[in-house]
Structure formats: structure tokens, C-alpha cells
Amino acid sequence: MYRSRASGWPHSRPIDVPFELNSTSWQARGLVAWWPLRGYGQMAGHDYARGAHMTPWNLPTFVCDPLYGQVTKLNGSTQYWQVASAALTGTPLTLACWFRSTTITANQGMVWIGDGTVNNSYWMLYAGGGISGDPVCAYSIGGVNSGYAKTSAGYGANVWNHAAGVYHHATSRAAFLNGRYKGTSATSISPPTINRMAAGRDAKSGPGMYFNGSLADVRVYNRALCDAEIMELADPAARWQLYRPTIRFWVVQEIIRQKTVDLTLAQRSLDLTVDKRSLDLMVGTRSLDLTVVQRSLDLTVRPRSLDLTVQEGRPG
């Protein structure tokens, strides 16, 4: 579970409170790796889907972004994320992420899955600043065969963009920028061996294409998302569906600072701004585990009403 430390930002996004994977969302279907890349240190590389946690290499820095809260910033030369395992080994698959690049003059690896012991067996989603038009590219290489699909429009520097690469099979790949500008390629390519995943560079035996800027919400699916699903991933109204807030006593101060919660048990309902999660509170020497379901709570506690004052800080 991730704990946001971006104090001072308005609590309007799921990333500003502890969260976990929302397994009821369609966005969780076929998801085999998910790295939000938010927060600090090792926890920022936590994989919320299957537990393939990424390690930050060469001390990526952390910055407070108005849109994403705490994000990591890579220097474009030595810093990256990597894990020595792979969530899948063949098509179909989808690679996706949000990215904010500081440059449009170089090719930069964003999401990579392949064989780290050779130079010619991998899939990669990258920002093609070194290609005319600055497209997002979905690249494949298998032995002597290689090729990529590129978007019909280019990304901008120093702004957040959404990128996706969809691989249906060996002869079908597509690239998307911000849910649109689809480009395709039909060259037959099948990477023969896969054993590593990375974000922020290509991780072949001779690595390169280091990313300069910030990455967030890196995802790997074991299915080919359709065009409408890719559009929804980039839609501001739907992009947070995979995040499900998880509230516990010691972070209540981030949500209800020095406020009084009045639980009227005669009405048997409690209106909170928490969806489908549980809230643990200490009342005197008693512990209440309040499970909030669809903004309504049923209790069987007496007396009929309790006036609970939520204090800041963790219980000792």
C-alpha cells in the first residue's frame, strides 16, 4: 500500500491518499504489472498487480508534480527502474504509461520487456524524439527482424502525455499518443526470449535510450487493449479508476484533519468521502472496524449514537 507524502496538495485524486489496485475496474483485467512510480525510494517501484517490484538505479530524484503528486525524475543518462523477471513472454500484450519528457530531440525508452543478455529480443514503448515528427513508437525486435509502429502526431516537451503500445501478435502492433493518433506496423517479429522488465531505458545487454523526465502509471497487460480502452486510459475522467483508496487510522489526519465524525446509529448510515474501503478507529479502549460500502455504513453498536473526534497522528 502506498502512502502519499505530498502534503499540501488538495486531496482530489486517489494518489493523494493510500491506495491499492481496484480489482473491480475493467482496467485491472489482464493487468500483469503496474508501477505507479509515485512516492519515495523502493516503495515507488512497488508492483501492485503481481509483486514484480522494480528497483531504482542510480538514485532517481523525487519532485512534487501538481498533477501526479510525488513522482520520480530521471536524468536521461544513468537513472532507470528495473526488475529481473518478466510478467509475460509472448503476445498479445499492451504497454502503457504517462510521461513528461524534458526533450524532443532524442529517442527515450519508457517501458521495456525483453532479454537482458542479448541485444535483439524485446518489446519497447519509447518516445521518438530522434524521429521526424517526435512520435510515440511501439518497437519490436526478434533476431534479425525489427520494426515499429509510430503515432501520426508528436508529443510535446515538459507536458504530461499518455503513451501506449498494443501488440496483437507477431504481425500486428500499434502505437497511441494520448489515446489517439494511432499508427500500425505489420512486419513479422517475435522476440524469442524474455527475462527482464524496465522503465526509463532499454535494458538489453548494451543498454541505452535513457529517459529524461518523469514517468508514471506504467502498466503491462497480457491482452491487446482495444482502441476504446486505450482512449479511456488517457481520459482525465477515467484515468484514476485503477486506484482504490485504502484508509487506516494513522493516515486519517490526511483526510479528516481535526474534524468530528458523528455516527448516528439510529439511522444506521454514515456518509463519508471514502468508497468501498475500511476505516479503523480507536474509541477509548475499544476498536471499531468501520467498513464503508457505497458511502453507507450499517452498525450494531450501542448506545445509539457516538461522537468520535479524530485526532492527528499515529496511535502509539
What is the tens place of the pLDDT at every residue in 161-193? 999 999 999 999 999 999 999 999 999 999 999
**Which residue ranges in the chain fall short of pLDDT 50?**
1-12, 249-316
* H or E element at residue 123: strand 121-128
Which three cell numbers, joined as nine digits, stand for 196?
527482464
Distances (CA, A) of 33 to 21, 95, 199, 256, 267: 11, 10, 12, 32, 43
- Looking at residue 39, its pLDDT comes to 65
- Looking at residue 62, its pLDDT comes to 85
State how far the Cα of 66 lies from the Cα of 62, in Å rounded to an integer. Answer: 13
- Looking at residue 269, its pLDDT comes to 40
State how far the Cα of 223 lies from the Cα of 176, in Å rounded to an integer. Answer: 16
State how far the Cα of 54 lies from the Cα of 127, in Å rounded to an integer. Answer: 21
Q: Which domains does the chain carry?
A: 22-244 (2.60.120.200), 247-309 (no CATH)
- Find out whether 96 and 164 touch, Cβ atoms under 8 Å: yes
List phi, psi (to 5°) of 294.
50, 45
User: Exposure pattern of 13-27 as b/e (b: 16+ CB <10 Å)?
Assistant: bbbbbbbebbeeeeb
- DSSP assignment string, 55-93: EEES--EEEEETTTEEEEEEESSS-EEEESS-S-SSSSE
pTM: 0.77
